[in-house]
Amino acid sequence: MRRTYISPEFRYDGMAGTFNMKESASFFGSKMMDIEDSISIENNNIIYYQNAAGEQLNLNLEKSNEAQVYNTIEDKRLNHTIELDPAQSHLLLESSTQWIVTVDLKLILTNYLYSILKSSRTFEGVRNEGTIYNNVNDAIRDYVSRNLLSRYVLDQFNFWISYVPLSTQGTLRYRNVFSETAIGGTLTTRVQTSYTYDKSLVRVGFAQELPSNTHCFDYYFTMSYVKL
């Protein structure tokens, strides 16, 4: 073969497809992950296994490691706040006390979908060095953010309250407890909910139906999403 001694202007290097987690549509069609038509984030746990580096390569070996547990209740606990409504009067504060609960819906949904993908071993075989972040778990979260969040829309947000007399041992005024046991109480409809434009946060305002000088309460919330 005759040499031309002409240097190429470009060099083509192979690259793992997992370096780009954004699914892009093309004229001839594109792949897209099959997801559930509806999901409910209530009080269930999601269990999965991985190696010490966070990779999922061999399930039989990884089962010798401690199981990773996504606790829905704990995630909700960490990603919401409850506070006294600063705009209420002193009279309301002493009787029908008003509260504001703010929930980070987007972060909870992200964590839930991430755990589902890990439990299903959707990215089994992907190594850390095969991702742009050099971390497969960060790459999976990026995939969820870029491709899955926009495919779900909030269908229902339910807020539960169970009142507890202050005479009960261990209870304190204004010290309300976030607990899934509140689901056995009242599904509250007398709430005012407001969302950010993208429904990433919800703000729930409500007043105690039983006076705060005699009762505190346990509370819990659940949400469900449907696929667009």
CA distance linking residue 142 with residue 49, whole number of Å: 20
Q: How far apart (Å, rounded) are the C-alpha atoms in residues 130 and 123?
A: 11
Tell me how far CA of residue 91 lies from CA of 94, 98, 176, 212, in angstroms: 5, 11, 20, 11
Separation in Å, CA 82 to CA 76, 85, 126, 202:
12, 9, 40, 12
The CA-based dihedral angle spanning residues 123, 124, 129, 132, taken in that order and rounded to the nearest 10 degrees: 0
Poorest-confidence range of 28-32, 69-73, 205-209, 224-228? 28-32
92-125 confidence digits (pLDDT tens): 999 899 999 999 999 999 999 999 999 999 999 9
pLDDT at site 21: 66
Residue 18 tokens read as 């997992």
Q: What is the pLDDT of residues 160-191, one digit of tens each?
A: 999 999 999 889 999 999 999 999 888 988 89
Q: What is the DSSP letter of 67?
A: P
Task: Write down the domain spans for the chain.
Answer: 35-227
The H-or-E segment that residue 164 falls in is: strand 152-165
Cβ atoms of 133 and 142 closer than 8 Å: yes
pLDDT (0 to 100) of residue 198: 87
Residue type, 47: I
